[in-house]
Structure 1
Amino acid sequence: MTTTNHSALPITPRALKDLRTTDDAGRLTTPFTDAEGGAPLRCCLRRAEPGERIALVSYAPLRRWASEQDVDPGAYDEQGPVFIHAEECGGPDTGALPFTNSHRTVRRYSAEGRILGGRLVEDPAVFEEALTEAFDDPAVELVHVRAVEYGCFLYEVRRDQEVRGD
């Protein structure tokens, strides 16, 4: 975890309710027991503990955000695999940025849902810098933090959700 002035946003409770039944690709959700643990959960932004019931679902984060904003993400509408708890959970228990212990990309999006660029973050020590740099551009409305290896969505940070220090 990385301490930050920005807030990582998990998948919303409303979206999680949908995803626990049918994912964004239209497939029925099939929960399973994570015997080993370690799956990066997007509902509470932590790794699964051995024995927890989880599900691997297809999720379209930009599509869901764009529908809230009444914009069309066009070709940038991606969906991909994410792990969630099979049942409702308490959400994140910390304000620190999760999953910063590996190479990540910080992908920037405009208010119209278009990609404005991104940055590869190889060192957890510069994660905060990468987010600050992204939001220094007034055209950036939100960023997605993604895994480099598979491109999986990890979490979102929105401009209007920044935690500002005095």
Structure 2
Amino acid sequence: MTTTTATTIHTARPIAPAALAELRVTDDAGRPTTAFTDGEGGAPLRCCLRRATPGERLALVSYAPLRRRAAATGTDPGAYDEQGPVFVHADPCAGPDPDDGTLPFPGAHRTVRRYSADGRILGGRLVGDPSPEAFARAFREAFDDPAVAFVHVRAVEYGCYLYEVVAETTRGH
């Protein structure tokens, strides 16, 4: 007899490579992208979900994640069409380390904002505890609602978009 079990993994996603290619030319506010050399390091990079190191070439761009999602799905983001600043590498990078497994940008307070498949806000939760367990609980709580298709993790101190999380189910025997 074979027993099948399902495991849900909450996967943090960087900005998609196609979007990054566009953002490295013109940002979502229509401005040309300007690269700079980061002298201090520490900027949260949304292309590879790690902090920048001193000397890396970066760009600070305006990013509209819900507008881009709506365009891909043929929907209208409506009033939720917000855009905000994000740091990315000025040139293509390898993306996140697939073996890293740690939560990107731990630390200060974060919000976990829930969205429906058509990009409507369904609620949110403040996560004040930076532990992986606290985020796992917040993600489980969000995805326990079948109407939640994805969540955005945002920094409270600036309100910036950090990354998107989706639930992926794996099957085992």
Name the TM tier (shorter chain): over 0.9
Aligned to 2:137: 129
Q: Which of 117, 130, 133 is the aligned partner of 1:111?
A: 117
Q: Which of 145, 148, 161 is the aligned partner of 1:153?
A: 161
Higher gyration radius (CA): 2
Distance 1:34 1:53 in 2: 6
Contact 1:7 1:96 in 2 (8 A): no
1:33 to partner: Cα distance: 0.3
Aligned to 1:74: 78
Calculate the aligned-residue CA RMSD, in Å: 1.4
Contact 1:8 1:96 in 2 (8 A): no
Distance 2:66 2:103 in 1: 20
Gaps of 5+ in 2: 1-7
Aligned to 2:107: 101
Distance 1:102 1:52 in 2: 24
Contact 1:5 1:165 in 2 (8 A): no
Distance 2:130 2:117 in 1: 27
Residue 16, structure 1, aligned to residue 23, structure 2: no
1:76 to partner: Cα distance: 0.5
Q: TM-score scaled to structure 1, two decimals?
A: 0.93
Segments of 4+ moved more than 6 angstroms: none
Residue 56, structure 1, aligned to residue 96, structure 2: no
* Aligned length, in residue pairs: 161
Distance 1:72 1:139 in 2: 18
* 1:23-81 alpha-carbon deviations (Å, 9 max, x no partner): 00000000000001000000000000000000000000111111112211100011000
Residues 103/163 of structure 1: CA separation in 2 closer, same or farther (3 Å cut): farther
SS state at 2:13 partner:
coil
1:163 to partner: Cα distance: 5.2
1:112 to partner: Cα distance: 1.7
Gaps of 5+ in 1: none
SS state at 1:16 partner:
helix
Percent identity between the aligned chains?
72
1:165 to partner: Cα distance: 7.1
When structure 1 is superposed on structure 2, of 147-156 and 92-101 the one drifting more is 92-101
